[in-house]
Every structure is written in structure tokens, then in C-alpha cells.
């Protein structure tokens, strides 16, 4: 089956293709520009994004919203991670955590997918990965805050993983897995 | 005349009353909860906020959106100032600027008011104050990032000014002045 992924982020497209392609889902980018709410949760943002492209993107389609939540910073940058990345970047997060020891650098990456099925009904899928903020950026793959996030159980950052490896380990990979499972149960693929 | 100010921030109500009351405008708070867009500009956010309470708040009413834009941080926290304040706070901004000398700590506070007139037409009013981020927080008045912002030409932060003084000097005061001028020209007050 073919599904549109409403995003202009080539890195996200690549991750979705690597994860869903082998399961018979043909992921195509769609450039409809969604509006995004300022909201407390990724769920609200993703739901609203999906609603905002209704009629402009051909169903079935999905949107995704993700964020990095740093415990010692009260959950910052959270829902507004992209803006924080575009302005203060990885260096800003590291500065905010200067002097904070490894055991207090816990963080989560979360992703929420809002999928509009052929009938236009919305379904939400979530993925979370726990880990910690590193002392300095490491690795050249991925995008966003990947170079400063080390998931539990790995001694590498997201930016030190290849696309396939990151798909296995990442919040987005987990949300994509949940979507794939839903599609398989529905007998779509 | 009576105008509703759609906000739940008592500090903003107080500033608006101090500024508009003497000009014959009776400012009343209204608790309709607007939705806020993630957008690049305060203008877009304010316009959308005003639209989102249409029919729920009695016209004439206005909403306001404000932000602190720090040059050395690429405009951060900008449109997302409230979230940054709620998470990393004044201390976070100071950490991000650690070691940055006074001459490179330029910042602007901006406010945009979206006013829906009796006929429901929207009008935007803007106020900007240039200044700099201080080395440490000073003063106990105001709210948000007031303790770390020193406007040009004053040796005090916004949090070291009284409400009336801040109204004279502040971005919100300037936007309120522009609204008051509009109302006077229209012969409403």
C-alpha cells in the first residue's frame, strides 16, 4: 500500500522508508504544510497537524511530531524542540546542563504519529526512548539533537548509528512499528 | 468603553488597566482559552489566538502575545518564551549567555496585540523595546523574564520598575498605546 508522510524533513522520510518499506508500505513524502499548535503534549500537536492538512494531503497519510524532554530542564525543549534546535542548538542544551553529572542527565526522545486512514479517521501511535544527554556532541548521522542523545543500553549517540540501526532503537522507529502493526492487523499490507 | 482582554495572566491585566484606564477604556479580563499556533512570528500567533476565541469572547476584545528575542541566541526564546520560562527560566537564559560580554547581550522584548472590533474585524498593534540581558536577575516586580531584561537608557530591569513605570517603558505599554490611539481616532473613547 502507499501512504503519504506529510513532512519536509528528508531524514524523517529516510527513517520511515527504512522501517516501513520492508513491510510492504510505500512511503511517499507530501509537502502540504501543516499548522502546528502550541500545546502541552506531542499528541495534541500531532492530532492538530493531521487535521490541518485534511483535504490537502491524499489519505491515507500521517504526520509526526517528536521532541526531546530533558528531566533536569523541566522537560525542556519538549514540544518546541525544533525551535530550540534552530536557535540554541545542541550547544545550548549542553550549556544548560553544564556541571550536571551523568546520573542527572536523564532525557527521553518521544515521537507521536497521527495517521489518517482511507476513511479519514485518526489513529495515534507513540514511541519513547529513554537515555541521557552526553557531555559533548558525537557522530555525524541523523539530525536535530541526535549527536547529544545516548539511548540506554548503547554507548553510542543516535548520530553514531546508521539509519537502519537508528530505526531499531529510536522513538520514531517505535512509533513507526506501532503504525506498521496496526496496518498489518487491518490487513492492509 | 469596555474591552475584554482575553488572558489569564493577572500581571498583563494590571498593565493594561494602568495604561488604558486613564484613557477611558474599561479593561475586563476574559478567560476564554485561545489556541496558539507554533508560528515564526508573534503576529501570526496573535492573529490566530484572536480568531480562535471568536464567538466565545464578546467583541470588542483583544489578545496579546509577547516574547523575548536574544540576538546572541538566534532570537531564542522568541515566540516560545512562555515555555522557555516555565522550563529553564531566567537562570537558563543566563546560563546560555555565560561568558558573553555586555556588548553582545542585546535583546528585544516584543508584544503584538490583535484587537477584534465590535464588527469582528481584526487590527494588529505592535510594541518593541530594545535592551540587553543582565548578568544576573534583579528586582521583584513584573513576571516572566522581566528580572533579566534592562531596556536601553535605563539602569534598571523591568522587574525593578513599578507597574506605571513599566507601562511607560515596556513593549506591552507601547502596543497598548497604539491600540489606545486607534480607539481615540475611531472616536470610541
pLDDT in tens, B71-90: 999 999 999 999 999 999 99
Q: Which positions in chain A touch B76 (Cβ < 8 Å)?
A: 83-84, 87-88, 92
B chain contacts of residue A95, beta-carbon cutoff 8 Å: 95-96, 98
Residues 6+ apart with CB under 8 A from B99: none
pLDDT higher than 70, residue B108? yes
Cα separation, A150 vs B186, in Å, equals 60
Catalytic pick from B40, B65, B71, B146?
A: B65
Confidence of residue A136 (pLDDT cuts 50, 70, 90): very high
Give catalytic status of residue A65 as yes or no.
yes
User: Three cell numbers at A118?
Assistant: 482511507
ipTM: 0.77
Task: For residue B85, list chain A residues with Cβ-Cβ distance below 8 A.
Answer: none
Average pLDDT over residues A5-32: 92
Q: pLDDT (tens digit, 9 = 90+) per residue, A62-81?
A: 999 999 999 999 999 999 99
Average pLDDT over residues B133-158: 95
Mean per-residue pLDDT, A148-164: 93
Question: Do the chains contact at A96 and B80, CB–CB below 8 Å?
Answer: no
Under an 8 Å CB criterion, which residues of B touch A? 35-39, 45, 73-80, 83-84, 86-88, 92, 95-96, 98
pLDDT for the residue B11: 86
3-state secondary structure of A16: helix
Cα–Cα separations (whole angstroms), residue B182 to A5, B20, B115, B145? 46, 12, 10, 29
Cross-chain CB nearest to B88 (options A38, A74, A79): A74
Q: Inspect the interface and report whether the beta carbons of A73 and B88 lie closer than 8 Å.
A: yes
Which range has the worst mean pLDDT, A34-48, A96-110, B63-77?
A: A34-48
Higher pLDDT, A179 or B184: A179
Segment B141-159 shows an average pLDDT of 94
> Is the separation of the CB atoms in B162 and B154 below 8 Å?
no
Q: What is the pTM of this model?
A: 0.85
Beta strands in chain B (DSSP E): 2-6, 26-30, 36-38, 61-70, 106-116, 122-133, 149-151
Is the bond preceding residue A57 a cis peptide, omega within 30 degrees? no
Residues on chain B touching A90 (C-beta within 8 angstroms): none
Question: Which of A46-55, B15-24, B161-170 is the least confident region?
Answer: B161-170
Once rounded to an integer, what is the mean pLDDT over residues B26-30? 95
Task: Supply the pLDDT for residue A189.
Answer: 63
CA B75 to chain A, closest CA, distance in angstroms equals 7
pLDDT at B117: 95
Mean pLDDT score, B113-118:
96
pLDDT of residue A188: 65
Binned at pLDDT 50, 70 and 90, residue B189 comes out as: low
- Digit-coded pLDDT (tens) for B35-61: 888 888 999 999 999 999 999 999 999
For residue range A92-131, what is the model confidence (pLDDT) as tens digits?
A: 999 999 999 999 999 999 999 999 999 999 999 999 999 9
Is A93 in contact with A115 (CB distance < 8 Å)? Answer: no
The mean pLDDT of chain A is 93
Domain B2-185: assigned CATH number = 3.90.950.10
Residue B188 has pLDDT above 80, yes or no: no
Rounded to 5 degrees, what are φ and ψ at A187? Answer: 70, 20
Please answer yes or no on whether B73 and A92 come within 8 Å at the CB atom.
Answer: yes
Is A76 within 8 Å of B83 when comparing Cβ atoms?
yes
What's the pLDDT at B148? Answer: 98
Mean pLDDT of B155-166: 90
Amino acid at each position: 500500500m502507499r501512504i503519504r508522510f506529510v513532512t519536509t524533513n528528508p531524514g524523517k522520510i529516510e527513517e520511515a522508508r527504512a522501517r516501513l518499506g520492508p513491510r510492504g508500505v510505500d512511503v511517499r513524502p507530501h509537502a502540504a504544510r501543516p499548522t502546528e499548535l502550541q500545546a502541552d503534549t506531542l499528541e495534541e500537536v500531532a492530532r492538530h497537524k493531521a487535521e490541518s492538512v485534511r483535504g490537502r494531503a491524499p489519505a491515507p497519510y500521517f504526520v509526526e511530531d517528536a521532541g526531546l524532554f530533558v528531566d533536569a530542564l523541566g522537560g525542556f525543549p519538549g514540544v518546541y524542540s525544533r525551535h530550540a534546535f534552530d536557535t540554541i542548538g545542541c550547544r545550548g542544551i549542553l550549556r544548560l546542563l553544564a556541571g550536571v553529572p551523568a546520573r542527572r542527565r536523564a532525557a527521553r526522545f518521544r515521537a507521536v504519529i497521527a495517521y489518517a486512514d482511507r476513511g479519514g479517521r485518526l489513529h495515534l501511535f507513540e514511541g519513547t526512548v529513554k537515555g541521557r544527554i552526553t557531555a559533548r556532541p558525537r557522530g555525524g548521522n541523523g539530525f536535530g539533537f541526535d549527536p547529544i542523545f545516548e539511548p540506554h543500553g548503547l554507548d553510542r549517540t543516535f548520530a553514531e548509528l546508521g539509519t537502519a540501526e537508528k530505526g531499531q532503537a529510536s522513538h520514531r522507529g517505535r512509533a513507526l512499528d506501532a503504525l506498521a502493526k496496526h496496518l498489518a492487523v487491518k490487513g492492509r499490507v
